[in-house]
């Protein structure tokens, strides 16, 4: 990992640059696949699955027989671990429920807001080098709590044309209504347009590589909502002499092993910690099963020495990390001052892995600096807020003239008339 000392503010954007391609670099291929899927549906999906995943499937849908066989393959200990994680995720997301908000804004004018579930949602679950069955929990649990009617899961098949048994077990456990063996751009396109085998949905959720991220953004052009732009994983740790170097290194590597385009950063006010963490990273990296992947991610990552906590906080807010770990004596400064982060982990005994799996918070988070404007997935992500109003005779008398004056000032006579005709009847 490259060590950088006291970089000037004017170069922060350069040294904090993500190791990802720009949208322009990959938008052409995403557009091409979207056009094909919109025109020829499953035929295009099958062709691209063969091209990118190396498998030709007779059917994209997971059958009940496949589901039953897969569930039996998951060890009981792992099933229990998944159930425990699900219970914690349920508890946290159930706590996010809000009741109806009701107010009489003016005498006779009643306004209220209620939540309604998004009826049709698509969940994208990455496969590839690491089938993320934990993401099934993070997306399907709040979807089920919200009351979504159709919960469609897409995930890329392996070379045998199957999904990981753990993904199928988690999907069945969490009430997924349809499971599709399709991944990548073609999955997002299928959920966007609908095909004979893939239902069209109203909103798409889930992380993915850069191609999936761009595909999700393109889906919005066709009237489909998305949770957020969630691309390659990233982690920033801020640490001082109170941090434990081996813990910090393990956290950095936990994200580096996600993919070669992941990025991890250590910001520290202690040169000693930077040196110790650098040594620990090399030591722990050497024995990782996913060493080759983590090594490439580490090559894109940095150890940055900053003189003061205040300057470090400014830099972190400029970066806007997906995951942010605080291991500092002055943790309150960072907890109170962080404005841009997807999820925050506080103290030496709060590894980022806890949020990835079982603490209860959601791990589907904004990356690439989008935490400056986007929230991570939560219960409200699967719901819409709808407003209602009911106005009595007294109410229309109380606000009628206000509406008339404003509508007339905007030159919208029909708007004014909609009130005036009622007032005239009530006065007669």
Q: Which segments are annotated as binding site for Zn(2+)?
A: 255, 258, 356, 415
Residue 128 backbone class (left: φ over 0; alpha: ψ -120 to 50; beta: rest): left
Which of 234, 322, 352, 363 is labelled catalytic?
Answer: 322
- Token pair, residue 4, equals 């950088």
Annotated binding residues, written as ranges, equal 124, 186, 209, 233, 255, 258, 323, 356, 410, 415
Annotated binding residues for substrate, written as ranges, equal 233, 255, 258, 323, 356, 410, 415
Residue 200 backbone class (left: φ over 0; alpha: ψ -120 to 50; beta: rest): beta
For this structure, is 27 an active site residue? no
CA 391 vs CA 64, 110, 356, 404, 415: distances in Å: 51, 6, 48, 16, 16
Annotated binding residues for NAD(+), written as ranges, equal 124, 186, 209
Which of 93, 234, 257, 323 is labelled catalytic?
Answer: 323
DSSP annotation of 99 reads: P
Please state, as a whole number, how many other Cβ atoms lie within 10 Å of the Cβ of residue 388: 11
HEC assignment per residue over 25-77: HHHHHHHHHHHHHHHHCHHHHHHHHHHHHCCCCCCCECCHHHHHHHHHHCCHH
Task: With beta carbons less than 8 A apart as the criterion, state whether 198 and 182 touch.
Answer: yes
Closest CA to 343 of 392, 383, 376: 376
Give the integer Cα–Cα distance in Å for 28 and 36.
Answer: 12
For this structure, is 323 an active site residue? yes
Grouping H, G, I as helix, E, B as strand and the rest as coil, residue 302 is: strand
Residues catalogued as catalytic: 322-323
């Amino acid at each position: 990992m490259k060590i950088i000392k006291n970089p000037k503010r004017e170069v922060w954007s350069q040294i904090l640059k993500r190791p990802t391609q720009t949208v322009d670099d990959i938008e052409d291929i995403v557009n091409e696949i979207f056009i094909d899927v919109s025109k020829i549906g499953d035929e295009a999906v099958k062709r691209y699955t063969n091209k990118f995943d190396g498998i030709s499937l007779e059917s994209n849908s997971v059958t009940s027989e496949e589901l039953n066989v897969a569930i039996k393959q998951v060890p009981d200990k792992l099933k229990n671990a998944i159930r425990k994680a699900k219970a914690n995720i349920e508890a946290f997301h159930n706590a996010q429920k809000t009741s109806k908000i009701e107010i009489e804004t003016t005498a006779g004018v009643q306004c209220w807001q209620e939540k309604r579930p998004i009826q049709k949602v698509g969940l994208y679950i990455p496969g590839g080098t690491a089938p993320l069955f934990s993401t099934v929990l993070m997306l399907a649990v709040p979807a089920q709590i919200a009351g979504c009617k159709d919960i469609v899961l897409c995930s890329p098949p392996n070379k045998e044309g199957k999904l990981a048994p753990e993904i199928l077990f988690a999907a069945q456990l969490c009430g997924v209504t349809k499971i599709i063996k399709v991944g990548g751009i073609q999955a997002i396109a299928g959920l966007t347009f609908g095909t004979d085998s893939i239902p069209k949905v109203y909103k798409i959720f889930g992380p993915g590589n850069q191609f999936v991220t761009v595909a999700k953004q393109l889906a919005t052009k066709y009237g489909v909502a998305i949770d957020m732009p969630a691309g390659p994983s990233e982690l920033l740790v801020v640490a001082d002499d109170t941090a434990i170097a081996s813990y910090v290194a393990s956290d950095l590597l936990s994200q580096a092993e996600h993919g070669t385009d992941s990025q991890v950063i250590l910001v520290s006010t202690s040169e000693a910690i930077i040196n110790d963490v650098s040594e620990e990273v090399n030591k722990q990296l050497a024995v990782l099963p996913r060493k080759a992947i983590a090594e490439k991610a580490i090559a894109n990552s940095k150890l940055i020495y900053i003189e003061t906590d205040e300057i470090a906080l400014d830099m972190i807010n400029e970066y806007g990390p997906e995951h942010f770990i605080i291991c500092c004596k002055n943790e309150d400064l960072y907890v109170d001052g962080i404005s841009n982060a997807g999820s925050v982990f506080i103290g030496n005994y709060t590894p980022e892995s806890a949020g990835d799996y079982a603490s209860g918070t959601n791990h589907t988070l904004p990356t690439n600096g989008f935490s400056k404007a986007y929230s991570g997935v939560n219960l409200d992500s699967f719901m819409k807020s709808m407003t209602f109003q009911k106005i009595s005779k007294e109410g229309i008398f109380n606000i009628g003239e206000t509406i008339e004056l404003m509508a007339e000032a905007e030159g919208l006579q029909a708007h004014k008339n909609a009130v005036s005709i009622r007032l005239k009847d009530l006065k007669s």
